[in-house]
Amino acid sequence: MAIIVNKEKIFTLNTQNTTYQMYVNEDGVLFHSYYGARVGECDLSYASHKPNWNAAFSSNPRGKGYSHNHTSEELSVFGVGDFRLSALALVNHDGTTGAEPVYHSYKILKGKYQIKGMPAFYGDEGETLVITLKDKAYDIYFHMYYGVFEENDLITRALVIENKTNSEIKLNKALSVTLDLQGGTYDMLHFYGAHMRERLLERTRITHLTSTVSSVRGASSHTQNPFVIVCDKSATEEFGSAYGIGLVYSGNFVICAEKDQHETTRVVAGINPEGFEYTVAPNETFETPEVAMVYSNEGFAKLSNNYHKAIRNNLCRGKYKNARRPVLINNWEGTYFDFNADKLVAMAKDAGKLGVELFVMDDGWFGHRDDDRSSLGDWFVNEEKLQGSLDNLVKRINAEGLQFGIWFEPECISEDSELFKAHPDYRLAIPNRDPQLSRHQFVLDMTRKEVRDNIYDQMVEVLNSANITYVKWDFNRHLTDIYSAALPKERQGEIYHRYMLGVYELLERLTSNFPNILFESCSGGGGRFDLGMLYYMPQAWTSDNTDAIDRLKIQYGTSFAYPVRAMGAHVSVCPNHGNARVTPLNTRGNVAYFGTYGLELDITKMTDEEKAEIKRQIAEFKEYYDLIQYGDYYRLLSPYTPDESRYCAWEVVSEDKSEALVCTVAYDSKCTVQPELLKVKGLDQNKMYRINGSEETYLGSALMNIGFWLEYDHLSYASRLYHITLA
Ligand code: GLA
């Protein structure tokens, strides 16, 4: 049983390897006792408070008069005596603040809960515990949802606040989780970046200062990712305690961690309270986004693999959740805005001969868009540029044996567009101020149903007009000018969140009405690569940076939470358009294999030799597809330690441990290249293996503890694959 409730009101959530425990004290307060490695059936409540600590306060939370500031409550509230990071701040109808939630009831539901209008992990194999607390003074209910997925050690949480008073209440802060970790010294791994260098890894000590990872951009952003790992200060890939905290949300977020005055580490996470104020009317509810937590006491690799599996099986949906996805060619870096139908068909023709299965027409096919200054919002085909109808172009591409995909940027509007002429009020703009342009465009007010309906109808018309099997959903700027003509002045603080709910609603409508379309999310590269988006679209463009060497760090950082199968990765030309670096074509291929693998170039301009190499790559990628996409993923050599090894390396291992694929990429050539042994992971230690069909055989434990000699590579950026199979 994943959820155990005993008569002392001790609530225990068990997964295969972890335990999460809470209990209700005599006063009805719900305390957090423990989260970590699995422990047997016992009462862990003693861990939630510090004994005999200070006579001035009873620190025994089972007794009366305990101090909120010295205990660990599941729902930490601002303004009622807990001076640390809090998850909830509200104002009652009479202007009073704070809440004192006490136990009301609980229920256990079969299967995993879902959240109204928001993405969440799902699955019949999950179980749900709902603990309902009620404020002592007002009829405000706090439904604490816990989802338990035993197999992947995943525990999810979300909070639903229900206003049963006769008046409105205001939320100034409504986070999804408070998590206290007693004692110990912890680090936080977070994934920061910018456009073209997303999800770079930074490891910082959690000290008595608050460490904050956040976004106020209206999107999860390139700058920070809504996922962190809080770990033992000595945790590594294979050893130590590590807690993953990932928000299933794509908008403004915050994840904060600090050590309190008594050395307890507290983490809170949820919607960023900055710019947030939400009114909950009588008999209405407010749902926080879900937080997805995985604990591992075997370091980061185990944690990552549990996230990867849970995302693949219990977050991504639709036809392409498990189906093999087509190898695509996207024309963006190949043509930018400069194309017509003949050019695209010529590309498709050459690509088809090499094994490419899907042609994606990127930005520039609609309105009169020949650069990035116009036409967003005008989702009708530029028939002059496409030399006829979209249907005609798609038929020509289909005739070359390729499926057809198309690019949209549904959330934005250009001033130079028909949509803007007809509906200038559709953009987010503050009255009496000039709204801010970014990439020459504005953001549509997605809080408004009529705006979403307009975009939906236009998209449906395009998607029904031809045989389209793939959509790239882009979002190339962030939210400013936060004012909605459709909301009263008291509700302007709801826009950021309502914007996200609007986007999710549109995505739900579109993806469920077009179940055969593969959707890929994108946001100026990887600016909205998060668990929320993966619920609607099973893959995301990882970065506009397609340089294989820069991608080592980008894909490395991304892999801590997100599976290979979600990472859009394409081979592009050299010198690279972003940084002018020249890398071998096979290196570019190898790096893209550990993502979705596709092409982003003008194939008609490639030499016969290059085309032959691409053909080889596509065949090789298809051969290794299942191993790469469903295998356990191990980071072997970090791209952050070039002084320790000449290589960056990673590996995938099949679930039955019968085969593995290792990829190495060398950095800049150094004069004194030393032979290197590479240790692999995840094999059966008692079985014999061969490497690339070698005569020599190796014991699994030898490969994992001593390693094998890497082939000699003296060229900069050389890359190799090592296929390890049972002997
Ligand atoms: C963004 C995307 C690119 C491309 C362009 C088109 O930058 O990340 O892949 O689609 O927009 O404008």
- Residue 364 Cα, ligand 1 centroid: separation in angstroms? 10
- Residue 194 Cα, ligand 1 centroid: separation in angstroms? 15
- Specify the ligand 1 atom closest to the Cα of 407: 10
Residue 408 Cβ < 6 Å to ligand 1: no
Identify whether 530 is a catalytic site residue: yes
Q: What is the mean pLDDT of residues 354-374?
A: 98
Query: Measured between alpha carbons, how far is 490 from 488 in angstroms, rounded to an integer?
Result: 6
Query: Measured between alpha carbons, how far is 44 from 26 in angstroms, rounded to an integer?
Result: 16
Q: What pLDDT does 397 receive?
A: 98
- Looking at residue 399, what DSSP letter applies? H
Query: Measured between alpha carbons, how far is 642 from 401 in angstroms, rounded to an integer?
Result: 44
Q: How far is residue 615 from each of residues 13, 396, 618, 619, 692, measured CA to CA in Å? A: 50, 22, 5, 6, 20
- Looking at residue 456, what DSSP letter applies? H
Using the predicted structure, report yes or no on whether residue 53 has a pLDDT greater than 60.
Answer: no
Residue 365 Cβ < 6 Å to ligand 1: no
- Residue 626 Cα, ligand 1 centroid: separation in angstroms? 29
How distant is the alpha carbon of residue 145 from its chain centre?
21
Per-residue confidence band for 643, with pLDDT thresholds at 50, 70 and 90: confident
- Residue 615 Cα, ligand 1 centroid: separation in angstroms? 26
Q: What pLDDT does 671 receive?
A: 61
Residue 522 Cβ < 6 Å to ligand 1: yes
Q: Are 165 and 279 in contact (CB under 8 A)?
A: no
Q: Is 21 helix (H, G, I), strand (E, B) or coil?
A: strand
- Residue 351 Cα, ligand 1 centroid: separation in angstroms? 21
Query: Measured between alpha carbons, how far is 715 from 552 in angstroms, rounded to an integer?
Result: 17
Residue 600 Cβ < 6 Å to ligand 1: no
Using the predicted structure, report yes or no on whether residue 55 has a pLDDT greater than 50.
Answer: no
**Of the residues 221, 362, 472, 477, which should be mutated to test ligand 1's pocket, given the most ligand atoms within 8 Å of the CB?**
362
% of the chain surpassing 90 pLDDT: 92
Residue 476 Cβ < 6 Å to ligand 1: yes
Query: Of 530, 550, 613, 713, which one is the catalytic site residue?
Result: 530
- Specify the ligand 1 atom closest to the Cα of 544: 8
- Residue 603 Cα, ligand 1 centroid: separation in angstroms? 19
Query: Measured between alpha carbons, how far is 709 from 216 in angstroms, rounded to an integer?
Result: 48
End-to-end CA distance of the chain: 40
| Residue 285 burial (CB count, 10 A) | 14
**What's the token pair of residue 107?**
């229920």
Query: Measured between alpha carbons, how far is 466 from 392 in angstroms, rounded to an integer?
Result: 8
Residue 332 Cβ < 6 Å to ligand 1: yes
Point out the least confidently predicted range of 16-20, 57-61, 77-81, 606-610: 57-61
Q: What is the mean pLDDT of residues 40-47?
A: 88
Per-residue confidence band for 27, with pLDDT thresholds at 50, 70 and 90: confident
Residue 598 Cβ < 6 Å to ligand 1: no
Residue 362 Cβ < 6 Å to ligand 1: yes
- Residue 512 Cα, ligand 1 centroid: separation in angstroms? 25
- Specify the ligand 1 atom closest to the Cα of 472: 10
Q: Which helix (H) or strand (E) holds 722?
A: strand 719-726
- Specify the ligand 1 atom closest to the Cα of 522: 8
Using the predicted structure, report yes or no on whether residue 15 has a pLDDT greater than 70.
Answer: yes
- Residue 592 Cα, ligand 1 centroid: separation in angstroms? 18
Domains for the chain: give ranges and CATH numbers.
Answer: 3-47+58-314 (2.70.98.60), 328-422+440-475+518-629 (3.20.20.70), 634-726 (2.60.40.1180)
What is the tens place of the pLDDT at every residue in 58-77? Answer: 445 555 556 788 889 999 99
Q: Are 690 and 724 in contact (CB under 8 A)?
A: yes
- Looking at residue 61, what DSSP letter applies? T
How distant is the alpha carbon of residue 34 from its chain centre?
26
The alpha helices in 59-101, defined as continuous H runs, are none
Using the predicted structure, report yes or no on whether residue 446 has a pLDDT greater than 70.
Answer: yes
- Specify the ligand 1 atom closest to the Cα of 523: 8
Using the predicted structure, report yes or no on whether residue 465 has a pLDDT greater than 60.
Answer: yes
Query: Of 610, 620, 659, 684, which one is the catalytic site residue?
Result: 610
Residue 255 Cβ < 6 Å to ligand 1: no
Give the mean pLDDT of the chain: 96
- Residue 614 Cα, ligand 1 centroid: separation in angstroms? 23
Q: What pLDDT does 183 receive?
A: 86
- Ligand 1 atom 7: residue of nearest CA: 524
Q: What pLDDT does 404 receive?
A: 99
Q: Is 2 helix (H, G, I), strand (E, B) or coil?
A: coil
Q: Are 582 and 575 in contact (CB under 8 A)?
A: yes
Residue 524 Cβ < 6 Å to ligand 1: yes
Q: Indicate left, alpha or beta for 333 from its phi (over 0: left) and psi (-120 to 50: alpha).
A: alpha
Residue whose C-alpha is closest to residue 460's, from 421, 514, 497, 508:
514
- Residue 523 Cα, ligand 1 centroid: separation in angstroms? 7
Point out the least confidently predicted range of 149-163, 250-264, 320-334, 667-681: 667-681
Q: How far is residue 283 from each of residues 77, 131, 140, 167, 276, measured CA to CA in Å? A: 22, 19, 10, 9, 21
Residue 544 Cβ < 6 Å to ligand 1: yes
Using the predicted structure, report yes or no on whether residue 57 has a pLDDT greater than 60.
Answer: no
**Of the residues 222, 363, 520, 541, which should be mutated to test ligand 1's pocket, given the most ligand atoms within 8 Å of the CB?**
363
Residue 363 Cβ < 6 Å to ligand 1: yes
Using the predicted structure, report yes or no on whether residue 536 has a pLDDT greater than 80.
Answer: yes
% of the chain surpassing 70 pLDDT: 97
Using the predicted structure, report yes or no on whether residue 714 has a pLDDT greater than 90.
Answer: no
Q: What is the mean pLDDT of residues 443-462?
A: 98
- Residue 421 Cα, ligand 1 centroid: separation in angstroms? 25
Per-residue confidence band for 11, with pLDDT thresholds at 50, 70 and 90: very high
Q: Are 335 and 360 in contact (CB under 8 A)?
A: no
Per-residue confidence band for 52, with pLDDT thresholds at 50, 70 and 90: low
Identify whether 651 is a catalytic site residue: no
Residue 198 Cβ < 6 Å to ligand 1: no
**Helix, strand, coil percentages, rounded to 5, for the chain:** 20, 35, 45
Residue 352 Cβ < 6 Å to ligand 1: no
Q: What pLDDT does 672 receive?
A: 63
Q: What is the pTM of this model?
A: 0.97
How distant is the alpha carbon of residue 469 from its chain centre?
24
Query: Measured between alpha carbons, how far is 446 from 501 in angstroms, rounded to an integer?
Result: 8
- Specify the ligand 1 atom closest to the Cα of 362: 10
Residue 187 Cβ < 6 Å to ligand 1: no
Residue 473 Cβ < 6 Å to ligand 1: no
Q: Indicate left, alpha or beta for 57 from its phi (over 0: left) and psi (-120 to 50: alpha).
A: beta
- Ligand 1 atom 2: residue of nearest CA: 524
Angle, CA of 146, 149 and 150, to the nearest 5°? 120
Query: Measured between alpha carbons, how far is 84 from 89 in angstroms, rounded to an integer?
Result: 13
Using the predicted structure, report yes or no on whether residue 455 has a pLDDT greater than 50.
Answer: yes
**Of the residues 197, 339, 407, 554, which should be mutated to test ligand 1's pocket, given the most ligand atoms within 8 Å of the CB?**
407
Phi, psi of 559 (to 5 degrees): -70, -15
Query: Measured between alpha carbons, how far is 29 from 103 in angstroms, rounded to an integer?
Result: 6
What is the tens place of the pLDDT at every residue in 164-210? Answer: 999 999 999 999 999 999 889 999 999 999 999 999 999 999 999 99
Residue 407 Cβ < 6 Å to ligand 1: yes
Q: Mapped to the 3 state alphabet, what secondary structure does 472-531 carry?
A: EECCCCCCCCCCCCCCCHHHHHHHHHHHHHHHHHHHHHHHHHCCCCEEEECECCECCCCH
Q: What pLDDT does 466 receive?
A: 98
- Residue 524 Cα, ligand 1 centroid: separation in angstroms? 6
